[in-house]
A and B are shown apart, each in its own frame.
Chain A
Amino acid sequence: MTTAWPRPDFLARPPRRPAIVWWFSGASLLAAALSVGDWRAATRELESQRDRLSRVERHAPVAASAPPHATASVAPIAQADAIRAARHIVDRIEHPWDRILANVESETPQGLQWLEMDHDADAAAVHLEGNAADVAAVLRLVDSLSARPGWSQVALARLRSSEARGSAAASLPWRFEVIAAIDARAIARARPAGEH
């Protein structure tokens, strides 16, 4: 027999939802709201990307119609590299070696003996080393090189008594080092007439 007879209960209370149900509902709603926000942001992002894509396709119809293959994207980069390398080589070839040497030579006062010149076409620095009869000659060199167009930050980096022995040491007792920053283009542009 399965008949369920009525069973009125005076203690039956209307079913109250426990507090955790409300907390859970609240959390669920919050999660749903966040998801919707996320979805809308994603949709906007997708739209903007589509716009960008269509713009690119409009501006480059040939590129878009061509079948994509690996060299299509690699070629421009390789080309740019080659151009840059060629320009670099040309720059090196066109470097005003003669002018720089001529500048140094023309500004060399009496009583100076050059030992070393260090310069790289890629770098803007010049390093000069030599022996001098007196300090004044060295300072004159620094001043006159500074006055030259294209030469800047000419400075006496080192000055000490020469370690050399013998007559050379007697006549040129000072060892000096001069450093300078040069602008190769400015030196190249300077009129050769300025030289002595």
Chain B
Amino acid sequence: MSPLPTEPLVARAVASGRLRLLRQRVARAWSGARGRLPRHVLYLHPHGVLSWRLAAGPAADARPAQATPFASFGHWCAAHPGADVRVRVSGRLLHSIAVDAGLQLPGADAVRRYARQQFTHYHGAQAAGWPLAVWHGRGESGACGLHGVDLDAMVAEASRHDVRLLEMTPVWCAALAKMAAASPDFAGPGRNALLLVEGAAATWLLAEDGVIRSVRQRFMDAPHPDAVASLVDALAAQHQPLARPASVLGWWIEVPGESPGDVAPGYAGLTGSGSLNAVMLAEPGRPA
């Protein structure tokens, strides 16, 4: 009995796999050249992901993008093979610190080392393996540690479905961009504060003359407007004087008598400037 011709079969399988990948690459390059590349923005939170499709050009204004929920990043990748995606990570999945300018750390590597040290000091040995993202420059620096996500698994999942991860940033970056676009005074002189509310979790961002000085994370007992108001009051009292009242952006607030939704503008003495949808569609680093 002759042996089975396994080798040619394997070779053919490998070749077809490569061919498929190549076809996907060519298709993507072709779509990119025609400006038809499907681009997505993804909100990564502890219970799954929310996905928006970014339309290019004037179509974006014609029809507001709608979020689609997915159970996990893996599900999303399976549903969008070959897509480009920008990931925004919920504050619940990361810890952020702004480094005191007085430390005068010389570079991004120094910031990284300092942040690693701080995180392991406050969160224990588990923090030694957290993926870090740092910012450094213009007299401001800081770092974010990703504690709720297996980054390597995510990258592997993405590459398995030929999904290209363009970036993976904290959601508060997009919130800052949205805030600054809505109110240009936010980047102006003096102290300005923004509270980003994601349900019961909140991120307090303090900008001084357009430079981020402080990033604090707070948790509320319940995602209730009164809790948000008292948190804003408490944090504002710690950081007086503020040039203008602290702004609030957020979602998943349980307003009595209504279904949980975005923070309503002007509700309970807060100045809201946006919603989850608006924040997610804001382009960080490219203010409107």
Contact = CB atoms under 8 A, between A and B. Distances in A.
A7 B134 contact: no
Interface in A126-143: none
A184 B276 CA distance: 123
Given A3-B180, A3-B187, A11 B142 contact: no
B81 interface: no
A1 interface: yes
A4 B187 CA distance: 9
A24 interface: no
Contacts of A5: 173, 176-177, 180, 212, 284-285
B176 A8 contact: no
A115 to B, nearest CB: 98
A8 B169 contact: yes
B287 A8 contact: no
Contacts of B210: 3
A2 to B, nearest CB: 8
A80 B210 CA distance: 95
Interface string A56-99: 00000000000000000000000000000000000000000000
B227 interface: no
Interface stretch (B19-27, B69-77, B143-151): B143-151
Nearest to B149: A10
A21 interface: no
Contact of B169 (A1, A4, A10): A10
Contacts of A3: 180, 187, 210, 287
Nearest to B285: A7
A6 interface: yes
Given A1-B180, A3-B210, A12 B285 contact: no
A11 B144 CA distance: 12
Contacts of B132: 10
A1 B287 contact: yes
Given A1-B181, A1-B184, A1-B287, A9 B142 contact: no
B162 interface: no
B287 A10 contact: no
Given A6-B173, A10-B144, A10-B151, A1 B133 contact: no
Contact of B89 (A1, A4, A10): A10
A5 B210 CA distance: 8
Contacts of B285: 4-5, 7
A35 B140 CA distance: 46
B8 to A, nearest CB: 34
B177 A10 contact: no
Nearest to B177: A5
Contact of A8 (B143, B155, B177): B143
A36 B79 CA distance: 61
B135 interface: yes
A1 B170 CA distance: 22
A8 B284 contact: no
Nearest to B108: A14
A11 to B, nearest CB: 5
B134 A8 contact: yes
A1 B288 CA distance: 8
Nearest to A12: B133
A11 B167 contact: yes
Given A1-B287, A4-B285, A9 B180 contact: no
B231 interface: no
B181 A8 contact: no
A172 to B, nearest CB: 103
B168 interface: yes
Closest 8 CB pairs between A and B? A8-B133, A6-B135, A3-B187, A10-B168, A5-B176, A3-B210, A10-B133, A8-B135
Interface of B: 89, 131-135, 138, 140, 142-144, 146, 151, 155, 165, 167-170, 173, 176-177, 180-181, 184, 187, 210, 212, 284-285, 287
Given A5-B212, A6-B212, 11 more contacts: A1-B180, A3-B187, A4-B138, A5-B176, A5-B180, A6-B142, A6-B176, A7-B167, A8-B133, A8-B170, A10-B131
